[in-house]
């Protein structure tokens, strides 16, 4: 991985899902990953709900007791687009052997420093999902959260994620639905009004509907077995999971078709 993000354009076979213009956005924000009031404030607010969902699905898939001290001991987890490690670190604390990958080298630098400060042993790599797949990587769980809307070819990226997931494993993907409500919440609200994120962080036409994502996962051999909305309540100022409202943020689990 070089500091020149133009080397990571769609023409690079080792990182064909990577969009150089999207990388540039996150390169500029990398130093703020662990600031709960910085540019990643929305993810810090959303993180507890994402973690609740992920831990419950992994525990269900592998018959683990999520209430135990290290329920994911012995499991290999890959966090694609890990950023500064907001999800990677909790997975490591729960006992998993965790690999975090991100195409933005500065994100990995931040993640490594923070993990070391916390005394966590995490395999962070400045690379791409495609490169890990070319190495023959196989994981019990593959996480791809808030990244599929930023890649060049979502269907190809999902196929790579599926290839990285063991036959009896689980692939968990979250993204934004392409609705008028998501435009209002994620772009007008989060970027223009609240200024939680810089303008242009998201492009509404790149958002993906739950049915579209489920179809990609099924085509890749990891059909959806569960889908939930992640809903923000502006009155209580918190997030919750919903079985019905997938109109803005949502998360889907896919497992082997066989």
Residue 215 CB partners (closer than 8 Å, separation 6+): none
Known binding residues for S-adenosyl-L-methionine are 50, 81, 102, 145
Identify which has the larger pLDDT, 244 or 196: 244
Which of the four pLDDT bands, split at 50, 70 and 90, describes residue 170? very high
Contact 196, 190 (CB under 8 A): yes
Residue 136 CB partners (closer than 8 Å, separation 6+): none
Whole-angstrom distance, CA of residue 211 vs CA of residue 217:
10
Q: Give the pLDDT confidence of 201-226 residue by residue, as tens digits.
A: 777 888 999 999 999 999 999 999 99
Q: Give the pLDDT confidence of 12-64 residue by residue, as tens digits.
A: 334 677 777 665 655 655 568 898 888 788 889 999 999 999 999 999 999 99
- Alpha carbon of 39 to those of 42, 124, 176, 198: distances in Å? 8, 22, 18, 7
Per CATH, which fold does 20-255 belong to? Rossmann fold (3.40.50)
pLDDT score at 5: 28
pLDDT score at 25: 58
pLDDT score at 96: 98
Known binding residues are 50, 81, 102, 145
Give residue limits of the domains in the chain: 20-255
Asked if pLDDT for residue 4 goes beyond 50, the answer is: no
- Alpha carbon of 21 to those of 8, 10, 130, 148: distances in Å? 10, 11, 18, 14
What's the rounded mean pLDDT across residues 220-242?
95
CA angle 124, 130, 131 (to 5 degrees): 55
pLDDT score at 191: 60
Beta carbons within 10 angstroms of residue 133's beta carbon: 17
């Amino acid at each position: 991985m070089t500091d020149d993000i133009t080397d990571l354009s769609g023409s690079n076979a080792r990182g064909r899902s990577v969009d150089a213009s999207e990388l540039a956005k996150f390169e500029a924000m990398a130093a703020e990953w662990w600031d709960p009031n910085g540019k990643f404030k929305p993810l810090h607010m959303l993180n507890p709900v994402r973690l609740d969902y992920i831990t419950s699905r992994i525990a269900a898939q592998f018959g683990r007791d999520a209430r135990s001290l290290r329920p994911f001991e012995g499991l290999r987890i890959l966090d694609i687009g890990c950023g500064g490690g907001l999800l990677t670190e909790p997975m490591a604390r729960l006992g998993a052997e965790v690999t975090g990958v991100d195409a933005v080298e500065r994100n990995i630098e931040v993640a490594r420093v923070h993990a070391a400060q916390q005394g966590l042993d995490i395999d962070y790599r400045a690379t791409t999902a495609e490169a890990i797949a070319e190495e023959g990587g196989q994981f019990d769980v593959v996480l791809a959260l808030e990244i599929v809307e930023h890649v060049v070819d979502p269907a190809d990226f999902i196929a790579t994620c599926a290839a990285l997931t063991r036959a009896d494993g689980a692939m968990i993907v979250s993204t934004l639905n392409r609705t008028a409500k998501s435009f209002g919440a994620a772009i007008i609200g989060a970027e223009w009004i609240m200024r939680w994120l810089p303008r242009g962080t998201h492009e509404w036409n790149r958002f993906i509907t739950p049915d579209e994502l489920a179809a990609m996962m099924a085509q890749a051999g990891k059909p959806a077995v569960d889908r939930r909305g992640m809903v923000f309540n502006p009155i209580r100022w918190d997030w919750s999971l919903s079985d019905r409202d997938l109109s803005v943020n949502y998360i889907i689990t896919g497992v082997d078709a066989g």
